Amino acid sequence: MDIIKDRAVWIVLFLVILGGLSYMVVVDPDRVEKMDEIVVRDDTRVGDITEVKELYNRLDLKLNGTKQHLKNLYDTTVTHMKNYNAKIDSINNVFSRVEYSIDELRKFIKSEFESLADDIEDLSDDISGLKTKQTKDMRKVNNELKSINEILEQIDTEDLIKDYRKKE
């Protein structure tokens, strides 16, 4: 039985070695090939990941630059808006002063026109008064002339002329 046991051990050992060799020859090369493919794919993925990281870093830098540029534009815009609002306030103040001056000028012109209207009315009254006075004076003069004419008509001019000639 020792021999059978030895043979059985040797057969099992032979089968195990044969199984190991067949595994090494048939199965292991496929596994090694698959592992090599995995390594290649990993290298490719590592390269892709590195490329993606580089692209991400470039994009990040570009976005940071764009962000800084936008911040500068925003600051410039805010500054321009403040200057614009200050100028608008200044212009509004000037317009307010001009409007006030125009209102004052309108009041002044209105008062001057009222004063001028009063002066014209006074002058018109004075002229009417002078016309009335002149008409009255003319009537007096005309009345005087009429009375002188009546007196002259009553006086016989021929008698006076004769008396005057006699005196000469």
- Spatial distance between the Cα atoms of 95 and 98, rounded to a whole number of angstroms: 5
pLDDT tier for residue 134 given thresholds of 50, 70 and 90: confident
Q: What is the pLDDT of residue 117?
A: 85
Q: What is the identity of the amino acid at 119? A: D
At residue 155, the 3 state secondary structure works out as coil
Return the residue matching tokens 């925003």. 74
- Spatial distance between the Cα atoms of 24 and 31, rounded to a whole number of angstroms: 10
Range of the domain at 32: 2-167
Is residue 41 over pLDDT 90? no
pLDDT digits (tens, 9 = 90+) for 52-91: 899 999 999 999 999 999 999 999 999 999 999 888 888 8
- Spatial distance between the Cα atoms of 73 and 76, rounded to a whole number of angstroms: 5
> Of the candidates 89, 2, 135, which has an alpha carbon nearest to the alpha carbon of residue 97?
89
* Domain count for the chain: 1
Which segment of 5-9, 26-30, 87-91 scores lowest on mean pLDDT?
Answer: 26-30
pTM exceeds cut of 0.85: no
Q: What is the pLDDT of residue 156?
A: 65
Distances (CA, A) of 67 to 52, 64, 83, 117: 21, 5, 24, 72
> Of the candidates 99, 76, 95, which has an alpha carbon nearest to the alpha carbon of residue 87?
95
pLDDT digits (tens, 9 = 90+) for 89-102: 888 888 888 999 99
Q: What is the pLDDT of residue 48?
A: 80
Which ranges of the chain would DSSP assign to H, the alpha helix? 2-22, 28-154, 157-167
pLDDT tier for residue 168 given thresholds of 50, 70 and 90: low
